Amino acid sequence: MKLGGRNAVVRELLPFASTSATVIIGANVEHVGRWGKPPIASFVASLDSSYAKYVARVAQQKAPGDVALLSRMLHELLLTFYQATSQIPQRVVYYRGGASQDQYFGVLQAEMKALRKAFKLLSADCKPRVTFIAVNKRHHLRAFPMNSSGENNVEPGTIIDAGVVDAHGFDFYLYGHKNDQGTTTPCHYTVLHDESALSAEDVHRLTFHLGFTLGRSTRSTSLVAPVYLARLAARRARCYMREVSDGPFKSKFDLAGPHDGIRNCMFFI
């Protein structure tokens, strides 16, 4: 990664990026696949106003919705943000991947509670406004342009927010990338909680622009960079997970973290 973690910067993401201390958090839970192995919870948080440089934390999630574990990880990220910027966060935009629609309510309750606890651990004056957005690519929606000029895929930046979305909620489908082969699949975003009263245009624009900030890609990505990076961090953590024997019929797994010298770098890229 160049420039301390920034390969590319998107200008004018949102007006509040320059007027208030805003943290973009990406969260994901990676299920390892092998029976008996606990899932890996991963979080990344932005460290600059360009939302291109991130720091990650990963841990074994021995129980779903472990508030103590989640709040400790989130507190470490917020503390790192404070040390890097000398600012207490005033706004948090939280993108949560790895959850199906039937899990949204439970995930929202547990992780909002963990966020509130992490804020208190950082400072009694830390009371940022939180926007909580669920991210899902596991759906069956496909769309095609009505007036295509040789290509049948939808152009990047296309938003679908009517007709096939919840009439009583705030959700949308975003085509964030260009697909050279096959049919492009949009990403489904659902705003579960919004204390900043962001407009639909602001959420759409921020989400689309975050697809351009992934340092390992020269083009936009289908997922927002924070969730993409959280997935990469979780998959990298698999390399640190080792099996500890606990008798002939039971195993325990220990997750060793990265060296302290690279802990706050984007080592997982």
pLDDT the model gives residue 249: 44
pLDDT the model gives residue 187: 92
pLDDT the model gives residue 170: 94
pLDDT the model gives residue 143: 79
CA angle 147–219–204, rounded 5-degree value = 65
Q: Are 2 and 211 in contact (CB under 8 A)?
A: no
Neighbours of 187 (CB within 10 A): 22
Each of the 269 residues of the chain gets a pLDDT tens digit; together they read 666 667 778 876 666 666 679 999 999 988 766 666 778 899 999 998 888 899 999 988 878 778 899 999 999 999 999 999 999 999 999 999 989 889 999 999 999 999 999 999 999 989 999 999 999 988 888 878 777 666 778 888 889 898 888 888 899 999 887 877 777 888 999 999 999 999 999 999 999 999 988 888 878 888 999 999 999 998 888 777 665 434 444 455 555 666 676 677 777 77
Q: In the chain, what are the domains?
A: 16-255 (3.30.420.10)
pLDDT the model gives residue 244: 46
Distance CA 76, CA 59 (A): 12
pLDDT the model gives residue 105: 94
Distance CA 172, CA 187 (A): 8
pLDDT the model gives residue 165: 87
> Minimal CA–CA distance to 51: which of 187, 208, 189?
208
End-to-end Cα distance, the chain: 8
Neighbours of 103 (CB within 10 A): 15
Encoded amino acid at 160, one letter = I
pLDDT the model gives residue 44: 96
pLDDT the model gives residue 245: 38
**Given the structure tokens 């890097």, which residue do they identify?**
84
Token output for 143: 């769309």
Q: Are 186 and 154 in contact (CB under 8 A)?
A: yes
DSSP for 148-161, written as a single string: -SS--SPPTT-EE-
For residue 159, the cross-strand partners are 174
The pTM (predicted TM-score) of the whole model is 0.89
Three-state secondary-structure class, residue 81: helix
> Minimal CA–CA distance to 189: which of 215, 202, 43, 180?
202
> Minimal CA–CA distance to 54: which of 23, 28, 82?
23
**Given the structure tokens 């990344």, which residue do they identify?**
44
